Amino acid sequence: MAEKKEENNTEEVFHAEVVNPDEFLNPEEIVGSVNFNAEEILKPEEIEVVPEEIEVVEAERLSFPYDEERMNWLKLLLDSYQRMDTGVDLGIRLEAEKRGKKLACHKGCSSCCITHGEIPVYPLELVGITWYVTEKTGGEKRKKIRESLEKHQPGDPCPFLLDHECSIHPMRPLACRQFNVFNKVCEEGEDAYYTRPEDVLRPLKTYIQDAFNFTLPFYGVTDEEQRLIILETGKHHKMAQPMQNMNWKTLIEKMDAWDLSKN
Ligand code: SF4
Ligand code: SF4
């Protein structure tokens, strides 16, 4: 789903406080900072064979010119998401071409958002979600998100699933973007990752590595060699936390502060 319209009309600079990027500025500290293994969940396909006849179609990149101008991290995140979306699209077409698999996921199908117990979310992604919810949602949707966040307890399913749809779809994390299932729709309560892993899309390594590579400058990792080491060893996955366990109350405070500043 593309979000092309420039909606912002404020001069305020957004400061993300849900996560503190300073904690991640030293790449050495990435290792072992969080006791959660996202690596398994976001493990790329090792063998990548893309037949020449399958064309790479660049996914549409979301565009928020005003916000990207004032917040450099947003550029990184949107580039990352575009790269992942391109790789996912290619991966889906590859599976169809090579193994005749048909994508089961479709709009309104969302039981995976409830079933998954641990959806990895990375600090930069949290900043993106915070910005999007705080500054880019309004009306009834904003009200419903706020209510959902208020009710949310650690361990509950993702609070952004509303009326069977992702309310932060343009800013959904990489893990959500990549999770696609073939052949048949998941049954209620089924986690296809465990019940039929052969039907779950494995993202192409080049694309998933690139997607994470785009985000590394946010964590202070700009040296090319260091970036490659982090990506190859999977150290960046140590920064992820399960989406369901986040303290979303901070986000409510930010939403309220934003609303107050507009009145
Ligand atoms: S992963 Fe399963 S539940 Fe989720 S959208 Fe795809 S088919 Fe539906
Ligand atoms: S962020 Fe969106 S896609 Fe991801 S689990 Fe939550 S509702 Fe589902």
Tell me what pLDDT residue 159 has: 95
Report the separation in Å between the CA atom of 2 and the middle of ligand 1, taken as the mean of its atom positions: 20
Tell me what pLDDT residue 118 has: 84
Give the mutation target among 176, 177, 241, 251 for probing the ligand 2 site: most ligand atoms within 8 A of CB: 176
DSSP string, 44-64: PBS-----TTS---PPPPP--
Q: Does residue 162 line the site of ligand 2, with CB under 6 A?
A: no
What residues flank ligand 1, with Cβ below 6 Å? 104-105, 109, 111-112, 179, 181, 185-186, 192
Give the mutation target among 1, 107, 109, 202 for probing the ligand 1 site: most ligand atoms within 8 A of CB: 109
Tell me what pLDDT residue 16 has: 34
Tell me what pLDDT residue 134 has: 94
Tell me what pLDDT residue 242 has: 87
Tell me what pLDDT residue 48 has: 62
Q: Does residue 131 line the site of ligand 2, with CB under 6 A?
A: no
Tell me what pLDDT residue 136 has: 95
pTM: 0.84
Report the separation in Å between the CA atom of 53 and the middle of ligand 2, taken as the mean of its atom positions: 33
Q: Is 181 helix (H, G, I), strand (E, B) or coil?
A: strand
Tell me what pLDDT residue 22 has: 43
Distance of CA 80 to the CA centre of its chain: 9
Q: Does residue 113 line the site of ligand 2, with CB under 6 A?
A: yes
Tell me what pLDDT residue 39 has: 56
Q: Which residue's CA is minimally distant from atom 4 of ligand 1? A: 112
d(CA 146, CA 138): 11
Which residues of the chain have a pLDDT value below 70?
A: 1-49
* b/e per residue 10-44 (b: at least 16 CB within 10 A): eeeebebebbeeeebeebeebeeeeebebeebbeb
Tell me what pLDDT residue 195 has: 92
Closest CA relative to residue 191, chosen from 183, 200, 203: 200
The DSSP H or E segment spanning 174 is helix 174-178
